[in-house]
Amino acid sequence: MEKQTPITLSRLDVERLENLLDTPALRDTPAAGKLRAEFDRADIVEPADMPHDVVSMNSSADCVDESNAKHYTLTLVYPKDANADAGRISVLAPVGSALLGLRVGQSIDWPGQAGKTHRLKVTAIHYQPEAAGDLHR
């Protein structure tokens, strides 16, 4: 069995995401199931105790796709705020749910187009709401 990368999530993010996933449109979708599986394996902490090197909701992070060395600056957002062209990635997208809870230096595999697997590594976090004191985002 493959060992999963450990992740840390904010209690506030988990509560907000659970409320989103409980909506009729999302309740039984594969994306909801994937995100719930992330909750089940996460270390959930209070927002004030969130390590500053972890990708949380609305965080902006630099990442590198280790499969092709492409660099990206991505912001992890709720679906209504997603805009892939602007680097605003929905937490319900495969790469979004893969990024949630990762620390700087951690990598995770995520499925890309045509079944190709990518390895994405978080290299820096430019903004994290918990670190900035923006807990009511």
The secondary structure of the chain as a DSSP string is -PPPPP-EEEHHHHHHHHHHHTSTTTTTSHHHHHHHHHHHHSEEE-GGG--TTB--TT-EEEEEETTTTEEEEEEEE-GGG-BGGGTEEETTSHHHHHHTTPBTT-EEEEE-GGG-EEEEEEEEEEE-HHHHT-TT-
Per-residue pLDDT of the chain (137 residues; tens, 9 = 90+): 345 778 999 999 999 999 999 999 898 898 888 899 989 999 999 999 999 999 999 999 999 999 889 999 999 999 999 999 999 999 999 889 989 999 999 998 877 777 888 899 999 999 999 999 887 65
Q: What pTM does this model have?
A: 0.90
Domains (range + CATH), the chain: 8-130 (3.10.50.30)
Q: Three-class SS of residue 85?
A: helix
